[in-house]
Amino acid sequence: MFTFDESFWSHDGYEDDGTGYLRPKRGSNYVDQKYVFNTFGKRVLDNAWNGYHCCLFAYGQTGSGKSYSMVGYGNNKGIVPISCEEIFRRIANDDSGNSYEVLVSAIEIYNEAVQDLLIPVEQRPRKGFEIRESKILGVYIDGITKRPVESYKAIHDTIEEATTHRTVGSTLMNATSSRAHTVLIIEFKTVTSCSTRVSMINLVDLAGSEKVKQTGAEGERMKEGAMINKSLSTLGNCIEKLAEKSTNPKKAVLVPYRESKLTRLLQNALGGSSKTIMICALSPASSNYEETLSTLRYADRAKKIKNKAVVNENPQEKLMRELLDENQKLKEMIQSLGAGRVDARTFEDLGRKQREIAEAEAALKDMQKTFQEKLEEDRQRQGELRRRGTVVNPMVPMIVNLNQDPQLQGRVKHYFPAGKTLIGCNKQDESESESEASDLDRDSDEESDDLPVPDINMLGRGMQRLHASVENASDGRCILRALNGEAAQATCLNGMTLDRMLEMDAKKCPRTRVDDGFVLVHADRLIFGPCYFVFVQPNICSAEVLIASGEADFTTAQMEEMREKRSATEKRIRQSLYSPCMVLPGLEDAQHFEQMQEMQKELEQVKRTLQLKEQVLRAKEDEVEELRRELALLRNPGERLDEMLYAGHSKVSLAIDNTFEEALAQLSAVEAMLTSCAPRGDSPKKKSLTS
């Protein structure tokens, strides 16, 4: 039996109130989002208001509702947006004279790499940001963005921007399964007349644990699942060790925080000065019984952990005091260096101390800035980013992203101003670049460096350095072209690949063809590698209206692609029945050679079987035709009696004639033999015989 502080039911028993918000039916056990926030989220904010570090994270199997509880969907806002709204509501209603400062950071841990969600994908470091630890600052992320916000709209826009950059993949179990651990960090500072309190609020949406057999993941999705399960296993080990440490304080227990970036980041929330709340999301399906039981045991161990949270008061004074102490230690190390007492370890300690002091001085300098100065610096930084980008008229044609998750759909927009816009992959992920580096020589690398930089950068399998182009012609038409053969195979227009459209007759092609390109039409679905988009002409209707109407969505684009792939595969199989030497696409590699041979053998066998059946069928048709003619003769005996009696082609009459003639011949032979054997004198026998 498992016992917890609260237990909620949100699987069924709800109804729509007309605005999209799901409320409980009368007499049902359904718990809506507001009730969950009032139970957990309000408690987190109360702790933050009192100066405690606090953490709220959701754990459970993929598809069980963690992201729904934390982020929500549509009008059913989760704990994160409601908490942000409640923070500024409390600030507006406070008349005590205190001042408040709110800084927001958003990160994700994807494949054990920490990424800043407030930085565009193409500008992030390939290996992610480093998690560091110092005696002065504790555990922190080096170089992460801390954005000051002064209103709910500002924090809402920041979360929307982070959600746009979030990494999401698709599995069979959950089409909107989060493929990364997402953490929203809110630094909340309360400044009173006599003190300053700082609280760090960590709102964590963990990626779901999953089994490969159930999700059907393969390739990159399987690698992501392995990394997710590894970090969650490490989190479970840390919780188990912390529970053991809490039940037996005198026992020396080593907690493996360093085995995963997730546990390293949550080190303070799990076993430090923090008030932590854990939400366990469970699936009601019987097929998920083992995962549900594992989650319950997970939470039962976490409940045994006892943290000792303290109020974080006057952090600036504490930082200055510790900084002075570290400076004194650094001076002593420099003096020992001048006295000649030095070794390799001393040099290493000296470098580490200098780095820690530099980081602490930067943090102190940031603390000494006023909140208005931070806001002004952020405005200048955002303005500089906007100036660097090209100012585009929002009424020009564009493509807008499609996604399984409605929250992520329509967030990415790429405009096509007058002229030609290049689409390509300017930055490849590490695994692909390493594999390609072993195959490409130095000359090819130099040639690729000479290629122009794409105007629109897309990442993913199948994307080429220069993949496609869209020309916004003077007559207002937008013409899509693939820039090479591989790109044509990885680019789809309404589900059909461009290479297949180029092979079609111009009259049968579903889109107007201009040389080697195709004219795009409003609401056309486009696929570049793994990226799904819809083409929008704003003078017809906006992207928001188009997506909201359901005329363009991810499911439609995916089904179109699947239908075309199935049709093309069936066509190749039919062709291969008559061309057994033809190698089907995807079987060229040596590792698939045996599969190719087996398939060719099967095709040969099918071909021979069809040929035999065709011969048998022809023979049967001849017999049926023969029987039909004889039936017609039998039905009309007077008209063609001579033909029926003497025609050589009639098998029945011919058999009868032959049998009768043979019988007469045998009878004559017997009579001749008896005549030769009889006596010459007359006798009654002979008379009787001759007569």
Binding-site annotation, residues for ATP: 60-67
- Which residue is associated with the tokens 């122009």? 452
For residue 336, give the H/E element and its range.
helix 315-338
3-state secondary structure of 139: strand
Q: Contacts for 649-657 with beta carbons within 8 Å, 24 or more apart?
A: 651/626
Q: Distances from the Cα of 612 to the Cαs of 127, 609, 615, in angstroms?
A: 62, 5, 5
Alpha-carbon span 190 to 49, nearest angstrom: 8
Q: Is the CB of residue 185 less than 8 Å from the CB of residue 140?
A: no
Side chain identity at 396, as an amino acid letter?
Answer: V
The encoded tokens of residue 462 equal 């199948």
Antiparallel, parallel or unpaired: β 478-482 and 491-493: unpaired
Q: Distances from the Cα of 210 to the Cαs of 88, 111, 222, 245, in angstroms?
A: 37, 15, 10, 29
Q: Distances from the Cα of 225 to the Cαs of 156, 387, 479, in angstroms?
A: 30, 39, 39
Find, among 523, 398, 380, 530, the residue nearest to 455 by Cα.
398
> Can you say which residues are annotated as belonging to the binding site?
60-67
Strand partners, 147: 104
The encoded tokens of residue 274 equal 């923090």
Q: Is the CB of residue 167 less than 8 Å from the CB of residue 177?
A: no
Side chain identity at 406, as an amino acid letter?
Answer: P
Sign for the pseudo-dihedral over CA of 444, 449, 455, 456: positive
- Write down how long the chain is: 691
What 8-state DSSP symbol labels residue 135? T
The total of other beta-carbon atoms located within 10 Å of residue 535's CB is: 24
Side chain identity at 555, as an amino acid letter?
Answer: T
Task: Concatenate the DSSP letters of all residues of 504-515 into one string.
Answer: S-TTT-SS-EET
Phi and psi, residue 266, nearest 5°: -95, 15
Strand partners, 247: none
Antiparallel, parallel or unpaired: β 196-205 and 456-457: unpaired
Q: Is the CB of residue 71 less than 8 Å from the CB of residue 78?
A: yes
Alpha-carbon span 568 to 212, nearest angstrom: 29
- Which residue is associated with the tokens 């692909």? 432
Side chain identity at 413, as an amino acid letter?
Answer: K
Tell me the Cα Rg of the chain: 40
Side chain identity at 541, as an amino acid letter?
Answer: C
Side chain identity at 523, as an amino acid letter?
Answer: A
Q: Is the CB of residue 463 less than 8 Å from the CB of residue 433?
A: no
Find, among 190, 310, 272, 236, the residue nearest to 60 by Cα.
236
Alpha-carbon span 139 to 130, nearest angstrom: 11
Spatial neighbors of 199 by CB under 8 A, at least 6 apart, are 47, 48, 49, 50, 51, 52, 53, 54, 187, 188, 189, 190, 312
Q: CA angle, 654 as apex, 652 and 660 as ends, to 5°?
A: 105
DSSP H helical segments within 146-195, as ranges? Answer: 152-164
